[in-house]
Amino acid sequence: MKDTTSHHLDLDGRAVAARIFDECRAQIEMQSNIPWLVSISIGDNPEVAVYMRNQARGAERAGLEFDQQYWDAAISQEDAKAKLQAMNDDPEVLGIILQRPVPDHINVRSLQSAIHPLKDVEGMNPASIGNIVYSDVALAPCTAAASVELIKETGLDLEGLEVVMIGHSEIVGKPAAMMLMAEGATVTVCHHMTRSVAMHSRRADVVVVAVGKANFLSPDMIKPGAAVIDIGINQITDADGNTRIVGDVDTHAVKEVAGWITPVPGGVGPVTVALLMRNAVVAYQRQVAAGWVR
């Protein structure tokens, strides 16, 4: 058997993100008076605070103004919806980011639906997700879009490519599968009811994993040379009590077999933030075309 270990390549999400930030900044610098991005956290959540910090840094790199709003955890569904609708009508607001999770009494889908599709920079409004079915992927959910961007980074031709998506969530798995189909890939979606995930994943040119289980994907589940896109973010504690972030892939072992692999951290995450900013630029262009912005 020939040795494939030396052929594996890390898909460097930070480098891809840097390129996207530069493209966004170049487009933004040609405009004047671009409105603000608004990021909303309902209640106090330390994980959300990390995301907001990353997004604020991303906005700065792209040259966008960024407003972080913290709403009281006790806010009613009606008041939250009214505030979002006021932002839809506010020409000073470019895009709205609603952080998850939200408190139990808030219906997050209802609030996502309240954000106008032209201000939905996260691609979370059901209308935005529905557009993907018609191959309009310009304002797609950012994590799903990041996985597609990293597959393109391999240089593999997406037309006819065999992709297995493990995980079928509404915000990652399903939209990523639809986006890949729009690019001409042949996509199989596996989930917790799939009888043998390995049977499917072993024939794939690309395996995308988003299941939320540390080290779920093992080397015997992929074919040699496949590209592996790891969307998982799992916090684990080792025997010494140290916590670290790992993905859904047993990266160290899978590296021996894979042709390409995304590291965690440093893979899908940075690209997700960069694509949020690219979505903001697209949203601005569409708002100008709709006559919302002068």
Q: Is 202 a member of any domain? A: yes
What DSSP assignment string belongs to the chain? ----GGG-EE--HHHHHHHHHHHHHHHHTT-SS--EEEEEEES--HHHHHHHHHHHHHHHHHT--EEEEEE-TT--HHHHHHHHHHHHT-TTEEEEEE-S---TTS-HHHHHHHS-GGG-TTS-SHHHHHHHHTT--TT--HHHHHHHHHHHHTT---TT-EEEEE---TTTHHHHHHHHHHTT-EEEEE-TT-S-HHHHHTT-SEEEE-S--TT-B-GGGS-TT-EEEE---EEEE-TTS-EEEE-SB-HHHHTTT-SEE--SSSSHHHHHHHHHHHHHHHHHHHHHHTTS--
pLDDT at 57: 97
Please report how many Cα atoms fall inside a 13 Å half-sphere around the Cα of residue 8, on the Cβ side. Answer: 21
Residue 131 lies in a domain: no
The residue with tokens 């610098």 is 29
Same domain membership, residue 257 and residue 146: yes
Same domain, 151 and 261: yes
Would you state the pLDDT for residue 33? 83
Q: What is the pLDDT of residues 279-291, one digit of tens each?
A: 999 999 999 999 9
CA atoms within 13 A on the CB side of 131: 14
Tokens of 52: 């907001």
Neighbouring-strand partners of residue 249: 217
State the Cα–Cα distance between residues 146 and 140, nearest whole angstrom.
Answer: 10
Torsion angle of the four alpha carbons 179, 19, 275, 247, in this order, in degrees rounded to the nearest 10: 80
pLDDT of residue 32: 82
Check residue 266 and give its pLDDT: 96
Percent pLDDT > 90 in the chain is 88
Cis amide linkage into residue 265, ω under 30° from 0: yes
Give domain status of residue 287, yes or no: no
Mean pLDDT, range 147-168, rounded to an integer: 97
Kindly state whether residues 67 and 180 are assigned to the same domain: no
Count of structural domains within the chain: 2
* Average pLDDT over every residue of 262-285: 97
Q: Which residue range(s) make up the domain with 66?
A: 35-117
Residue 208 inside a domain? The answer is yes
Cα–Cα distances in Å, from 27 out to 91, 277, 278, 293?
20, 11, 10, 16
User: Quick count: other Cβ atoms within 10 Å of Cβ 74?
Assistant: 10
* Percent residues over pLDDT 70 in the chain: 97
**Within this chain, do residues 169 and 58 fall inside the same structural domain, yes or no?**
no
Does one domain contain both 104 and 160? Answer: no
Task: Tell me if 20 is assigned to some domain.
Answer: no
Tens digits of per-residue pLDDT, 210-221?
999 999 999 999
What integer pLDDT is reported at residue 2 of this predicted model? 38
Residue 238: which pLDDT band, with cuts at 50, 70 and 90?
confident
Whether the predicted pLDDT of 1 surpasses 60: no
The CATH number of the domain holding residue 194 is 3.40.50.720
* Cβ–Cβ < 8 Å for 135, 182: yes
Does the residue 7 lie in any domain? no
Of 117, 133, 152, which residue is a domain's last?
117
Half-sphere exposure of 157 (CA within 13 A, CB side): 2
Residue type, 194: T
Residues 148 and 211 in one domain: yes
Whether 153 and 263 share a structural domain: yes
| Together in a domain, 151 and 243 | yes
CATH of the domain at 65: 3.40.50.10860
Question: Are residues 164 and 263 located together in one domain of the fold?
Answer: yes
Q: What is the mean pLDDT of residues 109-134?
A: 94
pLDDT at 146: 98
103 and 146: one domain?
no
Q: Is 112 inside a domain boundary?
A: yes
Query: Do 173 and 236 belong to one domain?
Result: yes
Q: What is the pLDDT of residue 3?
A: 44
pLDDT digits (tens, 9 = 90+) for 72-114: 999 999 999 999 999 999 999 999 999 999 999 999 999 999 9
> Residues of 204-231 as b/e, b for ≥16 C-beta within 10 angstroms?
bbbbbbbbeebbbbebebbeeebbbbbb
The length of the chain, given as a count of residues: 294
Examine the domain organization and report whether 90 and 185 are in the same domain: no
d(CA 87, CA 24): 23
| Residues 6 or more apart in contact with residue 138 via CB below 8 angstroms | 279, 282, 286
Flag whether pLDDT at 6 surpasses 80: no
pLDDT over 50 at 141, yes or no? yes
Model confidence at 7, pLDDT cuts 50, 70, 90, reads: low
5 inside domain = no
